[in-house]
């Protein structure tokens, strides 16, 4: 172990250690919400959190690979353990293997404070009037429950130029380990809003001048990528709503939208995964 890595306190060797007990509690959503903290594993996520200014509570390093973690941070991401601004605890190797959420642990676990993602939508929208991304596409999610889907959608949204992601309150937990792993760094920077009234939010977006499309197949639905779709949205900022994996969108949300849009598919094929459907729609919304 490098003499440059200084741990706070003695090396942790027991699963009954108070800090380890508190760390393991964060596997449960109720504990995360109570403490307003969450955990994640790996070098990349730690460095992304540092780059994005996420407030860190503590870092746990596997003692036997602490040097390697520090070197990877420097070489791959230009980050340093000296930047974390929180206590760094050493964990005995065999214990670290037991508390890590990774199949092949990299040797670092981080605990961070919640990034506030729950707001009154109308206030957020007024605050965004001078935002350079205010006319970028908006994606809304209704009752998307699979954390892997939510994480993948966040990652795709960042890559495809979506300006904001708006989620109904019953969508998957943003701080679920699977969400974090699927989303990676974009979770820390993507503007995300949770709302109680998604249909009301759609109405507010339309009143602001957006055209909002429901991802649903009904009598009004137009083909994604068709000339009609291109003409309709030509002079408007746009958005789309993706529904629950099994039940799709509620009638109230569909009714609040301008109209529906569908993804053309081969006959006799299964419907697309919510994350894949969202990516296709986001790409099309961003195409000018």
**Comparing 130 with 253, which gets the higher pLDDT?**
253
Q: Give the C-alpha separation, 19 to 24, whole Å.
A: 9
* Burial status of residue 195 (CB atoms within 10 A of its CB: 0-12, 13-18, 19 or more): buried
Lowest-confidence pick of 63-72, 123-132, 218-227, 228-237? 123-132
Both structure tokens of 216: 């649903």
Both structure tokens of 277: 């459907």
pLDDT tens sequence across 10-52: 999 999 999 999 999 999 999 999 999 999 999 999 999 999 9
Distances (CA, A) of 156 to 160, 225, 281: 6, 19, 11
pLDDT for residue 13: 97
- Under the banding of pLDDT at 50, 70 and 90, the label for residue 287 is confident
pLDDT tens sequence across 117-156: 554 444 444 445 556 567 899 999 999 999 999 999 999 9
Residue written as token pair 């429901």: 214
- Would you say 137 and 240 are in contact if contact means Cβ atoms under 8 Å apart? yes
pTM of the entire predicted model? 0.88
Find the mean pLDDT for residues 78-103.
95
Find the mean pLDDT for residues 178-201.
92
Lowest-confidence pick of 131-140, 190-199, 217-226, 257-266? 131-140
Both structure tokens of 249: 């969108």
- Write down the mean pLDDT value for the chain: 90
pLDDT for residue 220: 82
Sheet arrangement for strand 259-262: 192-195, 164-168, 138-141, 238-242, 211-215, 259-262, 222-223
Question: Is the per-residue pLDDT at 179 higher than 90?
Answer: yes
Question: Is the per-residue pLDDT at 266 higher than 70?
Answer: yes
Residue written as token pair 């137009």: 222
**Which is nearest to 192 in space by CA: 111, 114, 275, 280?**
114
Element (H, E) at 166: strand 164-168
The separation between the first and the last C-alpha atoms of the chain, rounded to the nearest angstrom, is: 54
Distance of CA 181 to the CA centre of its chain: 9
DSSP for 182-220, written as a single string: HH-GGGGTS-EEEES-HHHHHHHHHHTT-EEEEE--STT
Domains of the chain: 18-113 (3.30.1330.30), 121-286 (3.40.1280.10)
Find the mean pLDDT for residues 198-217.
93
Distance of CA 31 to the CA centre of its chain: 19
pLDDT for residue 133: 66
């Amino acid at each position: 172990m490098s003499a440059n890595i200084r741990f706070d306190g003695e090396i942790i060797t027991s699963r009954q250690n108070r800090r380890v007990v508190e760390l393991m509690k964060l596997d449960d959503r109720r504990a995360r919400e109570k403490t307003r903290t969450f955990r994640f594993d790996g070098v990349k996520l730690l460095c992304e959190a540092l780059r994005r200014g996420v407030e860190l509570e503590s870092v746990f390093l596997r003692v036997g690979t602490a040097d390697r973690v520090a070197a990877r941070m420097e070489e791959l991401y230009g980050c340093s353990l000296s930047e974390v601004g929180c206590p760094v605890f050493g964990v005995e190797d065999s214990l670290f293997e037991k508390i890590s959420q990774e199949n092949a642990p990299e040797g670092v676990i981080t605990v961070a404070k919640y990034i506030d993602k729950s707001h009154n939508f109308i206030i957020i929208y007024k605050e965004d009037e001078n935002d350079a991304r205010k006319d970028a596409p908006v994606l809304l999610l209704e009752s998307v429950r699979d954390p892997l889907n939510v994480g993948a959608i966040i990652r795709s949204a960042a890559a495809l130029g979506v300006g904001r992601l708006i989620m109904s309150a019953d969508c998957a937990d943003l701080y679920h380990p699977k969400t974090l792993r699927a989303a990676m760094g974009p979770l820390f920077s993507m503007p995300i809003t949770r709302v109680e009234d998604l249909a009301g939010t759609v109405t507010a977006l339309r009143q602001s001048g957006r055209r909002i499309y429901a991802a649903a197949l009904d009598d009004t639905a137009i083909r994604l990528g068709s000339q009609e779709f291109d003409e309709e949205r030509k002079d408007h900022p746009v958005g789309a709503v993706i529904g629950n994996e099994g039940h799709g969108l509620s009638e109230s949300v569909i009714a609040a939208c301008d109209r529906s849009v569908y993804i053309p598919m081969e006959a006799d094929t299964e419907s697309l995964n919510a994350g894949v459907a969202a990516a296709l729609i986001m790409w099309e919304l961003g195409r000018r």
